[in-house]
Amino acid sequence: MKHLLNRFQPIQHSMIEKVQLLFQQAFEKPISLWHRLVVAERLYLVALFFVFVSSDTYFISGFITVFALVIEFWPVFNRMWHALAGKAVILLFYAVIANFALVSASGVVNEVVTVDASALTYTHNFAVLLHLPVWLFTITALALVLMQLSTPFYWLLLLLLRPFGMKRVQLIARSEFPFSMSILRFSMTFVLLTHLFLVLSTGSSESLDVDKLVEQAVEKTAERIAEGEPSHEAAIALQEELDKINQTEPTPGKTETAVADVADTEPEGAEEEPSLLEQYIGLSKRMIAEFAFHLEANSYSRCEIASGASIVELNDYEILQITPDETQTYGHRFEVKNCISPAFPIGQ
C-alpha cells in the first residue's frame, strides 16, 4: 500500500503543478494588461463594468467616465490656460456657466418666495452657490463628451491636411493600445452623452428601462380612468404611448397585453420615487426657504409683524411675511402684505 502511494505521489504533485501553472497563465496575462494601462483607461474599464451590472448603476458609470475624461484632458486644459487665447476661451466658457447658474437661481428663488429674487439679494446669492456646482459639472461633462465625440473629425482633418505638411498634435497621453482604447473611450462617452441628455430632459435615468416606460404609461391610463375618462379613449391613448415606446425598443408581451388589461387596471397609491436630481432640487428649495426665514428676513421692523414670523421689506408700503408652516411645500408660507406702521396705520 505504501509502495502504491509512493508511486502516485509524483503524479499528484505533477497534476497540482499543472493546475497552478494553468491558473497562473490564466490570471497573469490580464494582470499584465491591467498594469500596462494608464489610470484613465483603467477607469474606462471600470465604468464599462458598471454599465453591464445594472441600469441603476448608470450614474456611477457616468461619473467615473467624466473623471477619466478630466484626467485625460487635464494636460490640454493646462496648456490652454498658459496661453493667452486659451485663457480667454476658458474664462468665457465658465462665465457663460456662471450666467446660467445666476438666471437659474433667480427663477428658483422666485418660485420659493413668490416675489422677485432682487428683493432677497443674499438668498439669491445662496441659491447661486447651491446651483453652481450642478451647472459646472453638467456643462463641463457635456463639453468633455463633445470634445471626445469630435475626435473622428479631428483625425479626418489631419488626413486632409497631411499633404500640406500638417503634423499631428498629441492631445492626450500615449497608449499601448490606441485603437482599442479609442473605441472604448468613444463608446463610454456616447453612453454618458445619452445618459446626460436623458437626465436633463426627464430628470431621471430610470427611463432607460423600456419596461418601466410601459408601466408608467399603464399607470397614467389607470389614473385617467379613475378620473372618469371612458375606457376606450384611455386605451387609444395608451396604444399611442406604446407605439412611441416601440419605436425605441419593442417589448413583446407587455405591449400586447397592456391595452387588454387597461379596463381592469386600478391606480396604485404609491408614488414614484423621485430621481437624485429631483431630490437635490427639492432639498435646495427647502434650504432656500430656511435661509430666507432664518438669515435674511428680520424679526423686528417698523412694520407690524405676526407672532413667530419674519419679514423682508419690499418697499415703503409692502412687506414679505415669512411664517413657518409644515403644510406648505417648502415648510414656510410667503405672503405679501401691507406695511402697517406708525407712519402708515390701518385705514390711512
Instruction: List phi, psi (to 5°) of 342.
Output: -55, -30
Residues 284-299 as b/e (b if ≥16 CB within 10 A, e otherwise) read: bbeebbebbbeebbee
Task: List strands edge to edge, sheet with 318-324.
Answer: 310-313, 318-324, 332-338
Stated pTM of the model: 0.63
Q: What is the pLDDT of residue 124?
A: 94
Q: In terms of C-beta density within 10 A (0-12 exposed, 13-18 middle, 19 or more buried), how is residue 136 classed? A: middle
Compute the mean pLDDT over every residue in the chain, rounded to the nearest whole number. 74
**Per-domain residue ranges for the chain?**
39-205, 207-258, 297-348
Cell match 483603467: residue?
42
Higher-confidence position of 180 and 306: 306
Reply yes or no on whether the pLDDT at 128 is more than 90: yes
User: Per-residue pLDDT tens for 24-33?
Assistant: 666 667 677 7
Reply yes or no on whether the pLDDT at 211 is more than 60: no
Question: What is the percent of the chain where pLDDT is above 70?
Answer: 61
Cell match 491591467: residue?
34
Residues 100-117 as b/e (b if ≥16 CB within 10 A, e otherwise) read: bbbebbbebbbebbebeb
Q: What is the pLDDT of residue 334?
A: 93
Q: Are 251 and 214 in contact (CB under 8 A)?
A: yes
> Quick check: helix, strand or coil at residue 347?
coil
Higher-confidence position of 304 and 225: 304
Tell me the CA end-to-end span of the chain in Å, nearest whole number. Answer: 119
User: Per-residue pLDDT tens for 276-312?
Assistant: 677 888 899 999 999 999 999 999 988 888 888 999 9
Reply yes or no on whether the pLDDT at 171 is more than 60: no
DSSP per position, 216-270: HHHHHHHHHHHTT--HHHHHHHHHHHHHHHHHH---TTHHHHHTTTTTT----SP
User: Per-residue pLDDT tens for 55-107?
Assistant: 666 778 878 888 888 888 888 888 888 989 889 999 999 999 999 999 999 99
> Quick check: helix, strand or coil at residue 37?
coil
> Quick check: helix, strand or coil at residue 271?
coil
> What are the angstrom distances between the C-alpha of 38 and each of 26, 34, 53, 151?
22, 9, 23, 19
Q: In terms of C-beta density within 10 A (0-12 exposed, 13-18 middle, 19 or more buried), how is residue 261 classed? A: middle
Q: What is the pLDDT of residue 256?
A: 45
Q: Which of 80, 102, 259, 250 is nearest to 171 (CA)?
A: 80
Reply yes or no on whether the pLDDT at 207 is more than 50: no
Question: What is the percent of the chain where pLDDT is above 90?
Answer: 18
Cell match 391610463: residue?
221
Reply yes or no on whether the pLDDT at 252 is more than 90: no
Q: What is the pLDDT of residue 249?
A: 46
Q: Are 237 and 218 in contact (CB under 8 A)?
A: no
User: Per-residue pLDDT tens for 139-151?
Assistant: 887 888 787 777 7
- The residues that bridge with 192 in the sheet, in sequence order, are none
